Structure 1
Amino acid sequence: MRERSLQRWAFETPGIPDSLFVRDEEVPMTKEEVRAMVISKLRLREGQDVLDVGCGTGSVTVEMALVTGYAVGIDENEKAIELTKTNADNFKVNIKLIQGHAPDVMRDLDKFDRIFIGGGSDMLESILEESMMHLKEGGRIVLDAIQLETATRAISIMSTKMDVEVTQITISKGMRTKTGTAMLARNPVFIISGELK
């Protein structure tokens, strides 16, 4: 069995609390409840080759590597690469990081069993096309989006070569007040999953 980071996360379930990650307000992070759904939709197992495109703070990269044993993360932002490395070190997971602009840096990579694409990008079409070319047989892509336009573009592109499933989740988090707990809603998130036909 792989050595797990007992200091940071001693469980087999996804959804590591956000508070356990080193963060920076300038670098995006997939929040824990959304991340748990993303990890579920990726359908991971040990030994798979996995890629996180737009790794941000590395929260998804870390959770992928905890399951598979190894993950590759890409981000063009140097600060994001540094944060992902710090978080991977803290959780004692094996990752490779590539700083560069997707899809350009993807072209020299091998094929993957699973690819996660985080958030929106003005290069969404070319990132998705490159991702679909870098999937092994039976591979899956999972993308999350908060904008309807991003979700509809992703569905349209992925549907040309993949069986697509769309899930929308809305999370509310409790906040203590003087008299009780108020539920604060976060933005709805679309999770688009595709598997090669």
Structure 2
Amino acid sequence: MTPMAPVTAVTVVGLDAAGAPPHPALAPVLATAGLVVGAARHLAAVPVPAGADTIVLGPLAPALRRLAEAVDAGVPAVVLASGDPGLFGIVRRLRAAGLPLRVVPAVSSVAAAFARAGLPWDGAAVVTAHGRDPRAAVNACRALPLVAVLTAPGAGAAELGAGLIGWSRRLLVAEHLGAAAERIRAVTPEQAATETWAEPHVLLSLADGAPAAPSDAVPTDAAPDRVAPGGMRADNQPAAAPAGGWALPEDRYAHRDSMITKSEVRALVVARLRPRLGRLIWDVGAGSGSVGIECALLGAAVLAVEQDPEAGATIRANAAAHAVHVRLVTGRAPAALADLPEPDAVFVGGGGVDVLPAVVARRPERVVLTLAALDRVAPAVGLLRAAGYTVEGSQLSAARLADLPGGSIRLAATNPVVVLTGERQ
């Protein structure tokens, strides 16, 4: 049997974002390359052999087609990229196109930014705002204590800073990493929002309790209406599922006069809100904060709105006890909702049908209500449907085991609650 010829792999080489010389493997690879693909600045930075064809990256489709042809013809091809091309880089697109790859990474811009700042980053979340709605990156910075953001024009430090006003965050902006014009600046969200930043740049977002910023960092004062206890887990990352679970018993939260969403109801409410990293959840009429806190445990950014200052203090204490970040807005809804950032989902507790028009006016994807009074169900359904939402509803009634004298067991009923979910199509 004739052995099959080895498949020619495309070599993807990262050029060091920290400014170091190109990887030693690049020179021999380039010397035999018949096709070299990269951005104009990358092609200008390396000695492309005279006989090689070059493609300047813009639209990716023509480059993918030429690379596939090179692989089929056995022509050595090289793709030049920034930093580590496997970190939100071109490797994903090349793999999706079915190309065989050999990857030679360099120091990524994220690693270089943390190194320049003198900060550890083994617990950081790394997200990108490139080519997508920047709200997800903003919400990650709102939710987590240590986040690196790969930015893009129109989704950079100015836009991210504007979205973080009201959250206790320190921002480090790394411009022109590895170039002569390199600059690392520590700013507040307010300062970031008012400046023009050089492209490309990397943004690091640090909450209170995250590793200390460099000595020239601009301090931010924690406002009294913010909860930022400092970490989600020991490594600063949200678990895919919290180690302690969710739908926790009521005794895991401080609360007043049993004014707390019961665990059985909370399980359904949190499921309907679909919290995850990159989403912003409003918890309106937060009470003990249990619903919002469990959304934060699942990685979402959370705004808790509560009119009672005493309840606000309870929310702070509960958020600290569960080591999550929840921003507290003290005020009466619907007026308190006016200047809040756009939510992905909203929970309205405490039977607040009067709040519903202001909530649906903001067009969140999902609205979840809990109602104990039956006469409020039909008006709430009508309001949601009139605003273009499809509505599902369930009445939940649980009976819990309770001990009787003499060792017997009975069932103790909890108050029935109607859970409504509106979903915008």
- Relative to the length of structure 1, the TM-score reads 0.89
Q: Residue 39 in 1 paired to residue 266 in 2?
A: no
Could you tell me which runs of 5 or more consecutive residues in structure 2 were left unpaired when the two chains were aligned.
1-124, 126-143, 145-231, 235-240
User: Cα deviations across residues 6-45 of structure 1 (Å, max 9, x unaligned)?
Assistant: xxx95364211111111222x7210111101100111222
CA contact (8 A) 1:166 1:190 kept: yes
Over aligned residue pairs, what C-alpha RMSD do you find?
Answer: 1.9
Q: Distance in 1 between matches of 2:311 and 2:286?
A: 7
Q: Distance in 2 between matches of 1:141 and 1:41?
A: 9
Paired residues for 1:27-176 under 5 Å: 28-121=259-352, 124-125=353-354, 127-136=355-364, 139-160=365-386, 161-176=388-403
Q: CA deviation at 1:149?
A: 1.0
Q: Residue 4 in 1 paired to residue 230 in 2?
A: no
Paired residues for 1:6-21 under 5 Å: 11=243, 13-21=245-253
User: Cα deviations across residues 37-62 of structure 1 (Å, max 9, x unaligned)?
Assistant: 10011122222011000000111111
CA contact (8 A) 2:275 2:300 kept: no
Q: Distance in 2 between matches of 1:75 and 1:140?
A: 20
Q: Distance in 1 between matches of 2:248 and 2:319?
A: 13
Q: Distance in 1 between matches of 2:360 and 2:242?
A: 34
Equivalent residue for 2:203?
none
- Higher relative CO (Cα under 8 Å, sequence separation at least 6) belongs to 1
Higher Rg: 2
Q: Distance in 2 between matches of 1:134 and 1:64?
A: 20
* Of 38-47 and 111-120, the range deviating more from structure 2: 38-47
CA contact (8 A) 2:281 2:300 kept: no
Count of residue pairs the alignment pairs up:
188
CA contact (8 A) 2:280 2:300 kept: no
Displacement over 4 Å in runs of 4+: none
Equivalent residue for 1:185?
413
Equivalent residue for 1:195?
423
CA contact (8 A) 1:114 1:135 kept: no
Q: Distance in 1 between matches of 2:316 and 2:409?
A: 36
CA contact (8 A) 2:287 2:306 kept: yes
Q: Percent identity?
A: 28
- The one-letter amino acid of 1:129's match is P
Secondary structure at the aligned position of 1:159 is classed as helix
Q: Distance in 2 between matches of 1:16 and 1:135?
A: 30
CA contact (8 A) 2:242 2:297 kept: no
